[in-house]
Structure 1
């Protein structure tokens, strides 16, 4: 395998990379907004929301940060055409899986759209990055 591969990825490779980057930027934004929520902002929410945010375990917040930052670094690595994107997406998947399992079992078992969407997206990114490595688009 040639380390300095000149194989040019198709346009859809870049489209997927940009969408992955935007998705993960949105995830980092949500993490920052949740983690650094002020008391004033928290008090403007419903009593249920206040209890939810106050009762989140620290490990959940940690897993959330791993999920979104590994995904963001994976998307950046993807756009830089680096193989490490694959490993970062796997790390993100593991963290997302733990996080969403907790959401579905402890927080809100009825709201499955975002948890399942998050899992499907990261699984797709793992699959596609593995394919991109095989086609030498990631090096």
Structure 2
């Protein structure tokens, strides 16, 4: 047996270790799971509305009034809504997978949101039930969350946490 001691030159000389796979930090898991849950609610809302689920829509008021408003969306606003919802879900999943494409997905989601919310604020006024109580602040919360998720993903990318 030899008296040779294995030596890691990076440790003793103060040099950085070679880049290898980094362990996923706890905050990436926490933000990714919160993002997936938050955006999952948006996906459920989108699916329930698009499948015209009257029991679900009835929780907000007259389902037919809500459906008439949504059916009047121009194509670009409808596409924007879908892009906002599914881009956010994809961004959440990609963040959990540590993919750099999470940034792109969250950015596309924000672009879709701008289209969808643009119509809701600049087009004909929505039914009162969609702008009263908690529904009055929901678009603001959704937009703030989307910006925060994009910012987090961008920072994770620049820090080398995403591949």
TM-score, normalised on structure 2?
Answer: 0.71
What corresponds to 1:29 in structure 2? 44
Greater helix share, 1 or 2?
1
Shift of 1:12: 1.7
1:1-139 alignment to 2 at 5 Å? 5-37=20-52, 45=62, 48-106=65-123, 107-108=125-126, 111=131, 112-139=136-163
Secondary structure of the residue that 2:98 maps to in structure 1?
Answer: coil
1:5 shift after superposition: 4.5
Name the count of aligned residue pairs.
136
Matches of 1:29 and 1:40 in 2, distance apart?
13
Max Rg structure: 2
Is the 8 Å Cα contact of residues 5 and 136 (structure 1) preserved in structure 2? no
Gap change, CA 1:56 and 1:130, over 3 Å in 2 = same
What is the rounded CA distance, in whole Å, between the counterparts of 2:51 and 2:63 in structure 1? 18
C-alpha separation in 1, matches of 2:147 and 2:127: 21
Task: Report runs of 4+ in structure 1 exceeding 6 Å deviation.
Answer: 39-44
Q: Which blocks of at least 5 consecutive residues in structure 1 are unaligned?
A: none
Q: 1:59 Cα shift?
A: 2.9
The separation in 1 between residues aligned to 2:120 and 2:64, in whole angstroms, is: 18
Q: Shift in Å at residue 46 of structure 1?
A: 6.1
